[in-house]
Amino acid sequence: MDAVVQVKDRVKLPFHFDVNKMEQEIKELELNHFVYYNAIPLRAPAHHVDTSLPAPPPADDYADGSWTDWLNTPILEKMPYFKSIMDFFAEHTTVNLVRILRLAAGDVVKEHTDPTLGLHIEKSMIRLTIPIMGTEAEEFYLNNDLVDMKAGECWYLRLTDPHRVINSGTEARINLSIDVIPNDWIRQEIIQAEI
């Protein structure tokens, strides 16, 4: 069994992705106007993607995503660069939920915690965050300290801790969110990047 690991609350990983390619694919989606917060699923529970599939039975624990099968959405299939990013992580660990997250200009995500999104939790997923747009005006606070994330970078954030987001800019803040099952590979990447 993989060991539980305690690391810093924020770690920039040694992966960098092409912001121009991501921005282009987002523009090609011709996304509608939205207010406040918008999540666009790229990989989701199988019964949400293919509604002909039955919903999974109730589970005792939803923390690590094993309660359901996961499928790529039709939107992801139209986004080859985003798919290549997801495939990179899928080569090394189990990828569950993948979303484009948009926060409208001037809006705030109030402080909260995500109890199962930490590497130190024995049965959990962890969320990898890749900022894409609006990073100059975004203020992402984790444990009341600003996390200085740049577009194209990949971060592990211990989201079991209190965090909040302020978009003080005039454009939407957009990032790619990838939930993976912690395994030896991602733990090692996080530990090595922390040093």
Q: Can you tell me which residue has the tokens 């060991």?
A: 3
| Nearest residue to 124 (alpha-carbon basis) of 160, 166, 71 | 160
189 falls within a domain: yes
130 falls within a domain: yes
17 falls within a domain: yes
Q: Can you tell me which residue has the tokens 């090692």?
A: 188
> Which letter, b or e, does each residue of 68-86 get, where b requires 16 or more Cβ atoms within 10 Å of its Cβ?
bebbbbebbeebeebbebb
Residue 113 is predicted with a pLDDT of 96
CB 100 within 8 A of CB 76: no
Q: Can you tell me which residue has the tokens 């454009």?
A: 171
Q: pLDDT tens digits, residue range 18-76?
A: 999 999 999 998 888 787 889 999 999 999 999 999 999 988 778 888 899 999 999 99
Q: What is the CATH number of the domain that holds 174?
A: 2.60.120.330
5 falls within a domain: no
Tokens of 193: 């990047």
Average pLDDT, stretch 134-147? 92
Domain tally, the chain: 1
Residue 134 is predicted with a pLDDT of 83
The whole domain housing 19 covers 10-49+63-194
143 sits in the region (left: phi over 0; alpha: psi -120 to 50; else beta) called left
Average pLDDT, stretch 189-193? 95
Supply the pTM of this predicted model.
0.93
Compute the distance between CA of residue 124 and CA of residue 117 in angstroms, rounded to an integer: 6
87 falls within a domain: yes
Residue 26 is predicted with a pLDDT of 95
24 falls within a domain: yes
98 falls within a domain: yes
